[in-house]
Amino acid sequence: MCEQALKYLTENRDNTLKKLNDFLSIPSVSTDSVHKKDINEAANFLETYLNDIGFDKVEQQDTGGHPLVYAEYNQAGPDAPTVLFYGHYDVQPVDPIDQWKSDPFKPEVRDGRLYARGSSDDKGQVFMHLAVFEAYMKTEGKLPLNVKVCIEGEEEIGSENLYRILHDKQDQFNADFAVISDSGMIAENQPTILYGLKGFTGIEINVTGPDHDMHSGMYGGAIRNPIMALNHILTSMKNEDEVVTVDGFYDGVEPLTDKERELIKQVQGEDYRSTAGVNETASEKGYTAKEHTMARPTFEINGMYGGYQGEGTKTIIPSSATAKITCRLVPGQDPDQVQQLLEKHVYDVAPSGVEVEVVKEKLSAKAYKVEPNNPLIEKAAKSYTKAFGKETVFVRMGGSIPVVEWIEDIYKMPIVLLGFGTPDDRLHSPNESFPLDSFDKGMETLVHYWSEINTK
Amino acid sequence: MCEQALKYLTENRDNTLKKLNDFLSIPSVSTDSVHKKDINEAANFLETYLNDIGFDKVEQQDTGGHPLVYAEYNQAGPDAPTVLFYGHYDVQPVDPIDQWKSDPFKPEVRDGRLYARGSSDDKGQVFMHLAVFEAYMKTEGKLPLNVKVCIEGEEEIGSENLYRILHDKQDQFNADFAVISDSGMIAENQPTILYGLKGFTGIEINVTGPDHDMHSGMYGGAIRNPIMALNHILTSMKNEDEVVTVDGFYDGVEPLTDKERELIKQVQGEDYRSTAGVNETASEKGYTAKEHTMARPTFEINGMYGGYQGEGTKTIIPSSATAKITCRLVPGQDPDQVQQLLEKHVYDVAPSGVEVEVVKEKLSAKAYKVEPNNPLIEKAAKSYTKAFGKETVFVRMGGSIPVVEWIEDIYKMPIVLLGFGTPDDRLHSPNESFPLDSFDKGMETLVHYWSEINTK
């Protein structure tokens, strides 16, 4: 029954892309309050589109933060399974803006890639699902299964309100299984299903010294330098072997089995060096880069600043310094406990003569792992292969999708992670893009999957 | 002969202050090219004022950078001594601007202090000299000695062109002695003469990792984090005992004698804690804060930055990190050699997986020391005491005035450092100010000094 839908997608490709461009042109940056208007515009866009497709009960739910777009389709009948589709319409900030080759919010196609903030993470992938639903409705007049749509606007700022909503509205969001497309393939055109994701936690460290910037000649040697103090705190947390030296950080971490190491080794795909543009990888002593990224916890400083940053020199002892730190966790680690360990460590090593404050990152998530032989996942793998003409591989990845842990935690339903991104998409950084080829084959995959899913 | 000049200063105080405000209202920030116009305006202001006072040969000399204002007064005759007066009309940047209680370039008097960028460093002190010259000319019709004026516009960016000019135009700038007012008193109303200044050198460290910001989930554990790499480099340069751990850094440093330690201990004046607003001082192990600041070399990070600095979180591995470092040196240390030691150390410890580049700070200066019993200095001390009604103290200080070393190096002439700033002036930081009381007594000091200087 899916040939018609596929035909529709082919014939309407231009319209679909035009509509996607409209969606990507909305600067829905969730972390920056100046974009509140744009966030609402993106939510309105989705509400309109879902209504046009023919969903019932389309609504914007008030979360206390950015609105959550909800919709239902029940016309497949009580015997058909119900899928909960999750995605997010908010995007990361665009800075450093001067490194973009084209306006992040004026989508532009270059060498078969669509360049725009959100093209891959996650507006592009959300849009693929909606376009496929449209194709089915326009050709078959119905969808092969019942659908609940949950598209939030706060993923890039930690989905602050989502857990509460999923927890409080279980009748509304409950389904037979969930599908999420907010991840990537290990290589372009290599169908990939994630069976493991990392957990997440973080802290911000603020070090305050003198109450104003001091002349380095008159005060150098008399007071503690906040930047240097912060340097000493940070180097005490991770050594040059890339081993985290915070007491208890690795407690409970499942050791990597030889079988899993073998599996990871077999994973083809990106060479981190070429995609990152570095001459050498760097990973935890005793583990390969792939092993560390996919299956070992990480500790990264995402940003640090203090003192003078302008042209030329300014001979001061700055009054403060700040570092933003996030960790990716693996099964066996409890995010809250790890966060407390980080906080305790910082206060324990804080030098005298400065004030040190730890601000706890609100977002936290446990790591996630599912069994690859689940039939829902096997059908997804088959659909992938049909569309891409290649065997599907199963991998664990270093990314964190808190909602995955929450859905499992609250609903215990199987979750299928159908990612279509590629290693070259430059998520979260300048010149984010998405291959149009993945866009087409991804939609084809979804068409196959929905028609497969209802068959016994 | 100086009573008339003193009377003139008292009666014309309002005009003098009004004119000073005009001077301070010009935002002559030398490090930022957008202020080029203002730099020229400040130079024009001085040229006009010197002409009005009655100087000969007033000119703006092309330095290749910001103009140097030069003027001569020779009418005191061949038997009178000639002084070379040095000062600078450029100022430090004003950021963080939001911490200023009043506009840095709209001078405002609060509690007897004049608030404005440059009020103390160094426009206010330069202006005092010109006002005193004016007072003498207006009352006596002449100055008690011959004067050569040298006021540059590049002090806050390392006096890049001054050394070359002083070196190439020795006939023009040569004099019997030099007077500089670009320093401070150890306490308000405590006459202070500096007999020792620190040298200066610095480097900037740029660490480059991936060629764009990378997703911390997909690349965490696979590549080196430039901020963490820079942290490890910096903590290897100075330990938590405030001891610099760069090989050879202390080579040649003259040990502090018991006599000098006693002298430093006797220096009254600022408690670093109260003026800096910290609960505890921090200085090199084995030395007091005063000893370290006045007589031991220092190593300070003036600024550091990399990665995300905005609201909220951004889960990236940043592509680069930078640190700006300057050192204050003591007699026995060679700035260029210390700079090479710093550079070598950084390259020696640079971790793999990132590119590390050291940019050498152009400004460098040797430390300076003079014998306090020089008659020119004794006369200065006497004039100070007349004006402030207090014995003058002699101290070494942590600041660096490269021109001092250059004048000594090229001309071998005695240099008198007549500073009128106070510890609360907040040089180089928000809310810089200068006490009007120091302004009045400082000018009185200069009037006495010029009349004394010509007497045997």
pLDDT of B186 over the 90 cut: no
Q: Is A399 in contact with B296 (Cβ distance < 8 A)? A: no
Cα(B398)–Cα(A142) distance, integer angstroms: 80
Residue A149: exposure state from Cβ atoms within 10 A (0-12, 13-18, ≥19): buried
- Least confident segment among A285-289, B154-158, B311-315: B311-315
pLDDT of A1 over the 70 cut: no
β-pairing, B368-369 vs B177-180, is unpaired
Given CB atoms, is B210 within the 8 Å cutoff of chain A? yes
The stretch A332-359 carries a mean pLDDT of 97
Q: Report the pLDDT value the prediction gives residue B188, as an integer from 0 to 100.
A: 87
Cα(B347)–Cα(A67) distance, integer angstroms: 51
pLDDT tens sequence across B265-301: 877 656 799 989 999 999 999 999 999 998 999 999 9
pLDDT of B400 over the 80 cut: no
Given CB atoms, is B99 within the 8 Å cutoff of chain A? yes
Length of chain B, please?
A: 456
Name the residue facing A300 among B225, B322, B429 (closest C-beta).
Answer: B225
Length of chain A, please?
A: 456
Contact status, residue B189 vs residue B437, Cβ threshold 8 Å: yes
Name the residue facing B217 among A202, A311, A400 (closest C-beta).
Answer: A400
Q: Among A64, A304, A261, which Cα is nearest to B303's?
A: A304
pLDDT of B324 over the 80 cut: yes
pLDDT of B417 over the 90 cut: yes
pLDDT of A456 over the 60 cut: no
Q: Is B313 in contact with A354 (Cβ distance < 8 A)? A: no
In chain A, residues 359-388 whose CB comes closer than 8 Å to chain B: 361, 363
> Between residues A237 and B399, which one has the greater pLDDT?
A237
Q: Identify residue A325 by its one-letter amino acid code.
A: I
pLDDT of A317 over the 60 cut: yes
Contact status, residue B351 vs residue B224, Cβ threshold 8 Å: yes
pLDDT band at A394 (very low <50, low <70, confident <90, very high): confident
pLDDT band at B369 (very low <50, low <70, confident <90, very high): confident
Cα(B223)–Cα(B208) distance, integer angstroms: 12
CA geometry: angle A5, A6, A11, nearest 5 deg: 100
Q: Is the peptide bond between A32 and the residue preceding it cis, with omega within 30 degrees of 0?
A: no
β-pairing, A113-115 vs A108-110, is antiparallel
In chain A, residues 127-146 whose CB comes closer than 8 Å to chain B: none
Q: What separation in angstroms does the CA of B287 have from each of A89, B264, B328, B334?
A: 59, 11, 16, 22
- Residues from chain A that touch B214, judged by Cβ atoms under 8 A, are 276, 428-429
CA geometry: angle B64, B67, B68, nearest 5 deg: 115
This prediction has a pTM of 0.73
Q: Please tell me whether the interface predicted TM-score (ipTM) of this complex is above 0.85.
A: no
- Least confident segment among A23-27, B65-69, B371-375: B371-375
> Between residues B146 and A188, which one has the greater pLDDT?
B146
Contact status, residue A132 vs residue A8, Cβ threshold 8 Å: no
Q: Going edge to edge, which strands form the sheet with A199-208?
A: A355-360, A199-208, A320-329, A298-307, B298-307, B320-329, B199-208, B355-360
Among the four given CATH numbers 2.40.128.110, 1.25.60.10, 3.20.20.20, 3.30.70.360, the one describing domain B199-265+282-360: 3.30.70.360
Q: Report the pLDDT value the prediction gives residue B269, as an integer from 0 to 100.
A: 59
Residue A140: exposure state from Cβ atoms within 10 A (0-12, 13-18, ≥19): middle
- Residues from chain B that touch A426, judged by Cβ atoms under 8 A, are 212
E-only strand ranges, B99-224: 108-110, 113-115, 146-152, 177-180, 192-197, 199-208, 214-215
- Residues from chain B that touch A318, judged by Cβ atoms under 8 A, are 301-303
Q: What residues have CB less than 8 Å from A34, skipping those under 6 apart?
A: none
Q: Is A308 in contact with B326 (Cβ distance < 8 A)? A: no
Q: Report the pLDDT value the prediction gives residue A218, as an integer from 0 to 100.
A: 86
Q: Report the pLDDT value the prediction gives residue A186, as an integer from 0 to 100.
A: 82
Q: Is A428 in contact with B314 (Cβ distance < 8 A)? A: yes
**Where exactly are the structural domains of chain A?**
2-197+368-452, 199-265+282-360
Cα(B215)–Cα(B227) distance, integer angstroms: 15
Cα(B333)–Cα(B251) distance, integer angstroms: 7
**Mean pLDDT score of chain A, rounded to an integer?**
94
- Provide the 8-state DSSP code for B238: B
Q: Identify residue A444 by its one-letter amino acid code.
A: E
The sign of the dihedral angle between the CA atoms of B172, B177, B179, B180 is: positive
**Count of CB contacts below 8 A, A vs B?**
338
Given CB atoms, is A279 within the 8 Å cutoff of chain B? yes
- Least confident segment among A202-211, A277-286, B134-143, B420-429: B420-429
Give A287→chain B minimum CA distance, Å.
Answer: 9
Cα(B156)–Cα(B93) distance, integer angstroms: 9
Closest chain A residue to B185, measured at CA: A218
Q: Is A301 in contact with B307 (Cβ distance < 8 A)? A: yes
Contact status, residue B25 vs residue B102, Cβ threshold 8 Å: no
Name the residue facing B227 among A209, A283, A301 (closest C-beta).
Answer: A301
pLDDT tens sequence across A417-454: 999 999 899 999 999 999 999 999 999 999 999 999 87
pLDDT band at A267 (very low <50, low <70, confident <90, very high): confident
pLDDT band at A330 (very low <50, low <70, confident <90, very high): very high
Residue entry with tokens 């014309």: B12
pLDDT band at A195 (very low <50, low <70, confident <90, very high): confident
pLDDT of B454 over the 60 cut: yes
Name the residue facing B214 among A157, A276, A280 (closest C-beta).
Answer: A276
Chain B interface test: which of A278, A287, A317, A361 (most B C-beta within 10 Å): A278
Given CB atoms, is B231 within the 8 Å cutoff of chain A? yes
Note the Cα B123 to chain centre separation in Å: 12
Note the Cα A2 to chain centre separation in Å: 30
Q: Report the pLDDT value the prediction gives residue A401, as an integer from 0 to 100.
A: 80
Number of helical (H) and strand (E) elements in chain B, helices listed first? 15, 18
Given CB atoms, is A170 within the 8 Å cutoff of chain B? no
Cα(A420)–Cα(A433) distance, integer angstroms: 12
Given CB atoms, is A40 within the 8 Å cutoff of chain B? no
- Which backbone phi and psi does B304 adopt, to 5 degrees? -150, 140
Q: Among A338, A328, A240, A239, which Cα is nearest to A292's?
A: A328
> Between residues B55 and B269, which one has the greater pLDDT?
B55
- Give the 3-state secondary structure of residue A269: coil
Given CB atoms, is A157 within the 8 Å cutoff of chain B? yes
pLDDT band at B399 (very low <50, low <70, confident <90, very high): confident
- Residues from chain B that touch A280, judged by Cβ atoms under 8 A, are 224, 352-353
Q: Identify residue B145 by its one-letter amino acid code.
A: L
pLDDT tens sequence across B30-39: 998 999 999 9
Residue entry with tokens 């405030």: B242
Contact status, residue A86 vs residue A401, Cβ threshold 8 Å: no
**Mean pLDDT score of chain B, rounded to an integer?**
94
pLDDT tens sequence across A398-414: 877 879 989 988 999 98
pLDDT of B172 over the 60 cut: yes
pLDDT of A77 over the 60 cut: yes
Query: Helices A436-453 & A123-140, crossing angle to 10 degrees?
Result: 50
Please identify, in words, the CATH class of the domain defined by B2-197+368-452: alpha beta
Cα(A161)–Cα(A425) distance, integer angstroms: 28
Q: Report the pLDDT value the prediction gives residue B365, as an integer from 0 to 100.
A: 84
Contact status, residue A296 vs residue A282, Cβ threshold 8 Å: no
Cα(B200)–Cα(B294) distance, integer angstroms: 14
- Which backbone phi and psi does A188 adopt, to 5 degrees? -60, 140
Contact status, residue A101 vs residue A113, Cβ threshold 8 Å: no
